[in-house]
Amino acid sequence: MTANSLLKEGERIDELQRNGYGIIQDPARFCFGMDAVLLSGFATAKKGERVLDLGTGTGIIPILMEAKTCGESFTGLEIQEESADMARRSVSYNHLEEKVKIVTGDIKDASKLFGASSFHVITTNPPYMIGTHGENSPSQAKAIARHEVLCTLDDVLRESAKLLMPGGRFYMVHRPFRLAEILSKMVEYKIEPKRMRLVYPYIDKEPNMVLIEGLRGGKSRMTVEKPLIVYKEQGVYTDEIYDIYGY
């Protein structure tokens, strides 16, 4: 298939700077942000491991994880069929049908869909805002991506605990203002927080993202990594951000 034959009205293909891959996006719905890219750089998948991305949107994290890691297979679960359809077409565009699979379904039913202890690794970039907290999104697709409309943090962690094999790893990007809730719920569901990194837009600003790794059934001990700074100055990324993006 040609690129044009894969696109629907209003869509475009954005280059990912990895393996020549691109991703189909529709600006009227929801385009991936830096948080997804940073999560794909923070998460790891070893040879032979199966990876599940919860709430995959247009498939950005599985596609980047396939490019960056040695994982055996990558599955994306997405409740919105329009986004799942875009993700499948991106998989086809990049000729990744043998490695990446997109499933339409609800995070709340994930363990029923896939079965218990079926993945080595779970990644997720879930909705950050509770209810109407934060800016209201103009479209339903954007609202679902940003606000806990169709799933909550509790849903994500409960299902992840069921889906992960013993010793399996959980990776999430979220907002620091919910950090106390995140850590307490991870412990509640026996996904022990093991590694955390705060992301700062500038060195002298407050962090606006947090990257967290958890271990199913792990012992209580967490490493806090050095801060990740996004910008040296207005419009200029730090070297580490350029490296994560692959520029």
Domain 3-245 CATH (choose: 3.40.50.2300, 3.40.50.150, 3.40.50.261, 3.30.565.10): 3.40.50.150
Q: Among positive and negative, which fits the CA dihedral 99, 165, 80, 14? A: negative
CB 227 within 8 A of CB 38: no
Report residue 169: phi and psi, to 5°: -110, 145
84-130 tens-digit pLDDT: 999 999 999 999 999 999 999 999 999 999 999 999 999 999 986 66
Residue with tokens 């700077």: 17
* pLDDT over threshold 90, residue 29: no
> What share of the chain in percent tops pLDDT 90?
82
- The pTM for the full model equals 0.91
Tell me which long-range contacts 138-143 makes (C-beta under 8 A, separation of at least 24): 139/28, 139/29, 141/29, 141/30, 141/80, 141/82, 141/83, 142/29, 142/30
Residue ranges per structural domain of the chain? 3-245
* pLDDT over threshold 90, residue 247: no
At 162, the pLDDT band (50, 70, 90 cuts) reads: very high
- Name the residue with higher pLDDT: 34 or 133: 34
CB 112 within 8 A of CB 41: no
- Cα 104 to Cα 111: distance, rounded to the nearest angstrom: 14
* pLDDT over threshold 60, residue 142: no
Give me the chain's average pLDDT, please.
91
Residue at 164: amino acid letter: L
